[in-house]
Homo-oligomer: A and B are copies of this chain.
């Protein structure tokens, strides 16, 4: 059976390795190359697959129908261009072409799949969403689209991520003895680089002067993001979860749960799992949405593959663990 060759630039980081592992098990794809500058020439075992890293500049871009770029933010845009010039289509896991970022490209589409599915098939470049924006935007999109959010109200997001969200970087503050048994906020003051992406898409989806106030935290876990989102709404309905169930009906990768999700519900799966609860004991009608994803799956490699499946006309679920 013919398999479609795809390549990964930046394959030694956490997202890159996750992606290679998914490709290795994908029924219709094969890995044409995996690049990693510092590990060039080294071997890595990724699940059932043994790979040898090539230098990024030696990657045979022309051999791939799809090139995934999992390079650092800022370094990616150039390689997206190089890959495009060979005719490959690109799924870019960096922030370089996302809404709110500096770069823009007329041929790039934002790949928050469930919300922008119709834009993907014709895209030359898919800007794969950030991990936090994936968790947050899929959670609040139904409210925004239906106009439920109180105009001018602030949407409060307190989120926590496992350490793989910070990438495979030998930073002293990410050492085991510094992270275990600890918990801390970072980018405090609404200064996280994902804010612009979240705010831009919020506006686009129907926000009515709704500012996002976002505080991320570092969890002593390897993988997973949990976002706790409070949204003032104009008025309550009997069962607010019906809005999400309706909006996401038939979506294989979105789960509307009765009980608040926890990380272990989603780790190693390409899903967003959500719960919606009315806040008691407050005067302003407010919903509390808990949204959980695996930052490396639905928040990165899984969603990238989901988008690639669409680009190639394959089943959107091919090779993805639900």
Contact = CB atoms under 8 A, between A and B. Distances in A.
Interface of A: 14, 48, 152, 154, 156, 158, 160, 162-164, 168, 170-172, 174-186, 188-191, 195, 199, 209, 211-213, 215, 217, 219-224, 226, 228, 230, 232, 260-264, 267, 275, 277-284, 286, 288, 290, 322
Interface centre among A152, A164, A175, A278, by most chain B C-beta atoms within 10 angstroms, is A175
Given A160-B217, A174-B175, A174-B177, 10 more contacts: A156-B156, A156-B230, A162-B177, A180-B180, A180-B181, A181-B181, A182-B263, A183-B263, A184-B226, A217-B226
Interface centre among A190, A277, A278, A280, by most chain B C-beta atoms within 10 angstroms, is A190
Copies in the complex: 4
10 contacts: A162-B177, A168-B177, A178-B264, A181-B181, A182-B224, A182-B263, A183-B263, A184-B226, A184-B262, A186-B260
B228 A215 contact: yes
Contacts of A188: 260, 275, 277, 288, 290
A211 B281 contact: yes
Nearest to A287: B189
A167 to B, nearest CB: 10
B180 A175 contact: no
Contact of A163 (B171, B175, B261, B286): B175
A288 B163 contact: no
Contact of A282 (B163, B174, B213): B213
Contacts of A14: 177
